[in-house]
Amino acid sequence: ENRPIPEPGPNEVLLRMHSVGICGSDVHYWQHGKIGDFVVKDPMVLGHEASGTVVKVGSGVTHLKPGDRVAIEPGVPREMDEFCKTGRYNLSPTIFFCATPPDNGNLCRYYKHSASYCYKLPDNVTFEEGALIEPLSVGIHACRRAGVTLGSKVFISGSGPIGLVNVIVAKMMGAAAVVVTDLSASRLQKAKEVGADFTIQVKNETPQEVASKVESVLGCMPEITVECTGVQACIQAGIYATHSGGTLVLVGLGSEMVTVPIVNAAVREVDIRGIFRYCNTWPVAITLLASKRINVKPLITHRFPLEKALEAFETTKRGEGVKVMLKCDPTDQSP
């Protein structure tokens, strides 16, 4: 609250923040101070699922003006390297990313950001939907990497926010049947709400048994598996479940070293692909939201004002609901 309002550079905009979602990574940094090689060494502002209103533009900005409502893409390349030239800027080693040490996030009243990575929202897309484009982008990028298409049979492991956006996107991209697994009955119910065809509540089954259940409900082995937990047993189940010649996409991040049945995957030509965040997803997400072809509103289960940020983080930490949203602008009276 006591930080000075920043001045935008020539190619930046100053935003009055509106909606910021809490991600599991935000909670992890808060609780553990690091994720992999990213270590919090100095005080850091959290938040990277965000939208706001432009209040000031830099001298070089022509596509935005004060008053524009925008969604913020949190990853901004710092230089035009080989990855940017090939359109995979998310892989740039020097990328700036909100709330990844040492870069500050945007859970604050005012925030400045590269104008090229701020996207104007149509009038019929809310600030909250704009903030949800960030997790939605993970689903778009994962399903693109997986090759989801008309008639695909898809297995999604995990029914947290990222599992749910993958359900939404897979169905949008033409998947004929989507089955979701999770430990939580309430989260599986939410998966049904957003479009899952089948759900399986996992208890004490072995990975092979989970794979067998997936095949049973689908009537065949899925060509595509999207693993959203990062749990070793779930990755194993994903390999066993995927049809020979199919694709397993690893979205969830867990332990650096995991034991997997790699020979099973190799001899059946199961392609294992990773994803790192997303790239080139905001324009298509905005188009889908504006056309009402997808609905992400059911993902939001809790709302808090910025003044109750700690309570919001505690709620997320306890695993309550699905997506917790913070409202940063106290002057805005919209619901």
Separation CA 146–CA 226 (nearest Å): 8
81 pLDDT tier (thresholds 50, 70, 90): very high
Given a cut of 70, is residue 330 above it in pLDDT?
yes
Given a cut of 70, is residue 2 above it in pLDDT?
no
**Mean model confidence pLDDT for the chain:** 96
Q: What is the pLDDT of residue 1?
A: 55
Q: Report CA-CA distances (Å) from 93 to 28, 80, 84.
A: 22, 11, 11
4 pLDDT tier (thresholds 50, 70, 90): confident
Separation CA 35–CA 100 (nearest Å): 9
- Largest Cα span, the chain: 60
154 membership: H or E segment, kind and range: strand 153-157
Give the pTM.
0.96
Work out the end-to-end distance of the chain between its first and last CA atoms, rounded to an integer number of angstroms. 24
Q: What is the pLDDT of residue 36?
A: 84
78 pLDDT tier (thresholds 50, 70, 90): very high
Q: What is the pLDDT of residue 39?
A: 94
Encoding tokens for residue 159?
């029914």
> What DSSP string describes 30-78?
HHHSEETTEE--S------EEEEEEEEE-TT--S--TT-EEEE--EE-S
Encoding tokens for residue 321?
């609901």
CB count in 10 Å sphere of residue 28: 15
Q: What is the pLDDT of residue 334?
A: 63
Q: What is the pLDDT of residue 333?
A: 65
Among 59, 36, 45, 64, which Cα is nearest to 106's? Answer: 45
At residue 198's C-alpha, the angle toward residues 193 and 201, to 5°, is 95
Among 106, 8, 123, 9, which Cα is nearest to 68's? Answer: 123
Partners of 120 in the β-ladder: 70
Tell me if 192 sits within 8 A of 269, measured CB to CB: no
State the fold for domain 12-120+296-327: Quinone Oxidoreductase; Chain A, domain 1 (3.90.180)
Tell me if 328 sits within 8 A of 18, measured CB to CB: yes
Is the Cα torsion angle 263, 265, 266, 267 positive or negative in sign?
A: positive
Q: What is the pLDDT of residue 331?
A: 79
For the ranges 26-40, 141-155, 189-203, 230-244, which has the lowest average pLDDT?
Answer: 26-40
Indicate the domain borders of the chain: 12-120+296-327, 145-274
Separation CA 98–CA 103 (nearest Å): 6
* Range 145-274 classified under CATH 3.40.50.720: yes
Given a cut of 80, is residue 332 above it in pLDDT?
no
Q: What is the pLDDT of residue 335?
A: 55
Share of the chain above pLDDT 90, in %: 93
Question: Per-residue pLDDT tens for 292-310?
Answer: 999 999 999 999 999 999 9
Q: Which residues contact 34 (CB under 8 A, 6 or more apart)?
A: 40, 101
Q: What is the pLDDT of residue 26?
A: 95
The average pLDDT across 91-100 equals 97
Q: Which residues contact 314 (CB under 8 A, 6 or more apart)?
A: none
Backbone phi and psi for residue 72, each to the nearest 5 degrees, phi listed first: -110, 125
The average pLDDT across 159-177 equals 98
Q: What is the pLDDT of residue 269?
A: 98
Question: Per-residue pLDDT tens for 39-64?
Answer: 999 999 999 999 999 999 999 999 99
